[in-house]
Chain A
Amino acid sequence: MTTTTPSGVQTAARTTATAAVAARATDLTKVYGQGETQVVALDGVSVDFRKAEFTAIMGPSGSGKSTLMHCVAGLDSISSGSARIGDTELTGLKDKQLTKLRRDKIGFIFQAFNLLPTLNALENITLPMDIAGRKPDQAWLDTVVETVGLSGRLKHRPTELSGGQQQRVAVARALAGRPEIMFADEPTGNLDSRSGAEVLGFLRNSVRELGQTVVMVTHDPVAASYADRVVFLADGRIVDEMADPTADRVLDRMKDFDAKGRTS
């Protein structure tokens, strides 16, 4: 199976190259360590994340899905190959430029909410704009707050909010700057299934209704089923891709990895 899929994926990438691409990895390789302890986390990965599309990256533990996201999002350095956000090539960018890029073009949602406990919900949402020294677009901000359903709780501190509400604040924070692309790293990992479903719903709505682009790393087939497209990763390579996924189909696909892992 692993022998046939890469060619398939590459064809897919080539056919969509003409459509608007929000982020793109080309022959991306990431190596940790040196000599005997060297670990190849990503091995020549090429993938496109199209605008106004909700992409999920899936794969078993250690497949490199988080590393792929970190590299494309400019959080981690690249060993070889290229990563782009829009028209900007990330390789060769200095820390300062990367910081500015993240600030202006990317939104982040983390597993552990990562809100500042000293700020209230609204301040947390507008934090990226505060950092950039920009005034938030009030109309857009209202839309975002409305979408994630936080209207009544903007003055609350994170400690006064439930996990689901905290993650909704994080989603709103990522959306508020109207980023070119949003990256979500296991956004439902710390949530119960109902809150998780809510957050995933918001992510899908932000794509469908607000025209945002979302890339989500997850190992949960149900979460992946909210996406428009699922990219499967194993051992640092892209092994498969699935459009309009359902939880069952994704689960089946994942089971193959497990089976393969156990037999080989």
Chain B
Amino acid sequence: MFRTALRNVLAHKARLLMTVLAVMLGVAFVSGTLVFTDTLSHAFRSQSAKSYDDVAVAVTSLGNEYDPAETHPGVSQKTLDEIRGLDGVAAAYGRVDGFAGVADPNGKLIGAGWSNKGSNFDPGKDGKDSAYTFTDGEGPLKADEIALDKDSAAKGEYKVGDRVRVATNGPVKEYTLSGIFTTKDGAVNAGGSLVLFDTAVAQEQYLKPGWYRNVTVTAAPGTDDAKLLDAVEPLLPENAEAKTGQAVADEQAEEIEQGLGALKQVLLGFAGIALFVGVFLISNTFSMLVAQRTRELALMRAVGASRRQITRSVLLEAGVVGAIASAVGFVLGVGLALGLRSGMAAFEMKIPAGPLVVTPTPVIAALAVGVLITMFAAWLPGRRAAKIPPVAAMNSVHAVATTKSLVVRNSIGAFVTAVGAVVIVWGAGMGGDGGRLRIAAGAFFALIGVIILIPLLSRPVIALIRPILTGPFGVAGKLAGQNAVRNPRRTGATASALAIGLTLVTGLSVLGVTVGKALDKMATDNIKADYMVSMANGGDLDRSAVTALEKVKGATAVSPQQAVQFELKKPGTGEKIFMAGSAVKAGDIERVLKVDVVQGSADSLANGQIAVAEKTAKKRGWKVGTALPVTFADEKQATLTIGAIYKDSEFLSPTLLDTKVVNEHETKPSIRQVFVKMAGGQSEANEKALLGALGENPAIRLMDHQDIRDEFGGTINMMLNILYGLLAMALIIAVLGVVNTLAMSVFERQQEIGMLRAIGLDRRRVKRMVRLEAVVISLFGALIGIGLGVFLGWAIGETLKAALTGYALVLPWDRIAIFLVLAGLVGVLASLWPARSAAKLNMLNAIKTE
């Protein structure tokens, strides 16, 4: 039996090619993902292990730098000296760090979008800091000196002695480059930039003179890390904790693993879809092979093979095909992993060098997935093969395929689809995360249901397409339309591949475009300012930036959005409530953002009163005039009277205060954005003036209206683009599926095609007939997928309604049109080969009955 299975595989190489390709793609994705993430995690692990190599104990302070009352904002110089004095300590380095952006000679941020860090150079008695190895020059020892990591220096083409502009949260300053170094720091090795300041400068900028945020301790030879840890711990203030270097390295590795987990899941998702879609293709191929070999199989039965043996031989054949495909797929996967790694480098995400790691897991996973999926998909065709009666071997006339009733299948399909649809609608009505979860479950059922139901749907849906065919394409179009519905099961299975892919992609497109439009509308409706200023790294702006902007000639309104937190005592119970709010500039805020006051007046902000959002006020039972006893961050208390109540908006915090009220309580204000309205609106001159006022700071971003809209919608577009990769995947497999089906149809209809050729259908039109059939099947799948996708997009959109004001369903007709065109192209592309072979068919062989 094994030999016959093997022979069959060899005899149908071409036919099986599609199956092999489909399995191969899926397996390549699975193994590629696994190998890639293994390699990545190994590289990062060894990297972080290396960077903590000689660290015996690491101390981290949890001090709050924003709190002026904080007595221990970090680790003091005194504590550091005490640690240095301990037995067994070879050296201890104090570290303060924070954001530091380096400008290249053109004023652009080096290493934008990635980690931009600044830290201090802490030389020991030997004048060296063991964390940094200088390849050129030396560490910064004066206030106006800095050192740069080698890659950043290279990117900015800086040499020792050059003047370099560096921005921290404050204004930009120019420093002299004293040295260029390499380090084992993970972020730097992953492509981030690192600036080293003199310790005093770094402390001043990031914390408080005389204080450090971290301490790293290296041990003298022969000292136990754990013992050193025990010795260090008693010296530390309450809000600092110490760990051994090993523990920190492990923690980092853990974080890296988690970070990669998400990536792994996304990639495996792609693989899963590829395999899911592949199942239909494989199943179709084996049905075809079985149909072709009806006589042969019947002969085997006639000479004594049992049904079980027949099934087993088909499964065995599938197993062999699966194994071959998996092996090739695995090799392809390793290549894919290598490609991904170099691909990430292109996005300035440097991955630490390391060997390609191939553990047994991906090897086993690849083989298991490939072989089992193929055998699973071949199981039904195998059973069908076993049902061929021995007498079929004797029948000279083509055994007419008994079209089994689809009643059972349709009933099941209708039921499952209905259940899915009901759950989706239920979830849509419910909203929120729970609703979305139900929609996801419902979507799964609906998709399965539609796939079961797809043969039934083929007739009415294709009937819709048919008029387009018969008109311009005449008799070839008419025959193609009819051929497409001749074997509903096969047409359905073929169309399923496209339907699944397009359901996902359409759903996400609808959602993405809808949400994008809503966000866009929101931004346009709410932002009256011409410009928004923020830090490139998403951090806080310095107060000096606000002052600088206020002084710009032509600035008519300037207001920060400054995050504020205060406590509120609940009357009666004494329970404390934390309130979040924004400090803004009274008067100007209304000119830069839409503040829809429903009660009271926004002018009251200028009088030191507080404004509250409508929903919050309702929830707490507050009205205009309510007095709120608040405690600010510095523990000082005040009573604020509500002067206005405004409509909730995504751009406004639940409470608004004037900066004057807040600033005396905060030393380091958390200024997220500053909105500016300029006389003359958006213009190049205004932009220049603003940038000049900010000192052409590379770390500060100036965004105009369009930039703000892109900021909101941009991420969505990027997500969509990634997801279109998924469509490509589904399309490739769909092409293979359509090729398969057509090849089978052409084979089955040899006689018919021969007759058509004999009575005068020319080759061109025979080709056209086959091509149109492919297009019809593809469009059918696309229509089903798009329909289901729009439904899902609508359902998920409904759950977002509450969270997004101005939500309105937008159908991206342009994209849907593109999907349809792509589906049509899939058909044309897939039919190239089958159409050719149909046209080349020898008429005489086709007409002869024997």
A106 to chain B, nearest CB (A): 8
Is the Cβ of B760 less than 8 Å from the Cβ of A130? no
Partner of B762, one of A70, A76, A96: A96
Residue of B nearest to A127 (CB): B759
Residues from chain B with Cβ under 8 Å of A112 in the complex? 397, 751, 847, 849
Chain B, 809-850, CB within 8 A of any chain A CB: 843-844, 847, 849
Say which one of A113-121, A204-212, A253-261 lies at the interface with B: A113-121
Interface size for B (C-beta < 8 A) is 25
A173 to chain B, nearest CB (A): 7
Chain B, 738-786, CB within 8 A of any chain A CB: 751-752, 754-763, 765
Partner of B475, one of A110, A131, A190: A131
Residues from chain B with Cβ under 8 Å of A127 in the complex? 475, 756, 759
A116-B479, A118-B483, A118-B486 known; A131 vs B758 contact (CB < 8 Å): no
Is the Cβ of B765 less than 8 Å from the Cβ of A95? no
Is the Cβ of B844 less than 8 Å from the Cβ of A75? yes
**How far, in angstroms, from A107 to B759 measured CA to CA in the complex?**
7
Is the Cβ of B474 less than 8 Å from the Cβ of A130? yes
User: B482 interface residue, CB < 8 Å from A?
Assistant: yes
B434 to chain A, nearest CB (A): 50
Is the Cβ of B761 less than 8 Å from the Cβ of A118? no
Is the Cβ of B844 less than 8 Å from the Cβ of A131? no
Residues from chain B with Cβ under 8 Å of A119 in the complex? 482
Partner of B763, one of A99, A114, A189: A99
Partner of A118, one of B397, B482, B754, B760: B482
Residues from chain A with Cβ under 8 Å of B760 in the complex? 99-100, 102-104, 128, 131-132
User: A202 interface residue, CB < 8 Å from B?
Assistant: no
Residues from chain A with Cβ under 8 Å of B757 in the complex? 99
Is the Cβ of B844 less than 8 Å from the Cβ of A114? no
User: A108 interface residue, CB < 8 Å from B?
Assistant: yes
User: A133 interface residue, CB < 8 Å from B?
Assistant: yes
Residues from chain B with Cβ under 8 Å of A117 in the complex? 486
From A111, A131, A185, name the one whose CB has the most chain B CB atoms within 10 angstroms.
A131
Is the Cβ of A76 less than 8 Å from the Cβ of B844? yes
A111-B849, A112-B849, A131-B765 known; A118 vs B759 contact (CB < 8 Å): no
Residues from chain A with Cβ under 8 Å of B478 in the complex? 130
Residues from chain A with Cβ under 8 Å of B758 in the complex? 75, 102, 108, 110
Residue of A nearest to B482 (CB): A118
Residues from chain A with Cβ under 8 Å of B752 in the complex? 114, 116
A20 to chain B, nearest CB (A): 24
Residues from chain A with Cβ under 8 Å of B755 in the complex? 108, 110, 114, 116
Is the Cβ of A108 less than 8 Å from the Cβ of B759? yes
**How far, in angstroms, from A28 to B482 measured CA to CA in the complex?**
41
Partner of A130, one of B475, B483, B763, B849: B475
**How far, in angstroms, from A178 to B68 measured CA to CA in the complex?**
106
Is the Cβ of A133 less than 8 Å from the Cβ of B844? no
A102-B760, A103-B760 known; A133 vs B474 contact (CB < 8 Å): yes
Is the Cβ of B751 less than 8 Å from the Cβ of A131? no
Chain B, 594-639, CB within 8 A of any chain A CB: none
**How far, in angstroms, from A185 to B474 measured CA to CA in the complex?**
29
A95-B763, A128-B760, A130-B474 known; A114 vs B847 contact (CB < 8 Å): yes
A-B contact pairs, 5 of them (CB 8 A): A108-B755, A114-B755, A128-B760, A130-B478, A189-B849
Residues of A near any B CB (own CB < 8 A)? 70, 75-76, 95-96, 99-100, 102-104, 107-108, 110-112, 114, 116-119, 127-128, 130-133, 173, 185, 189-190
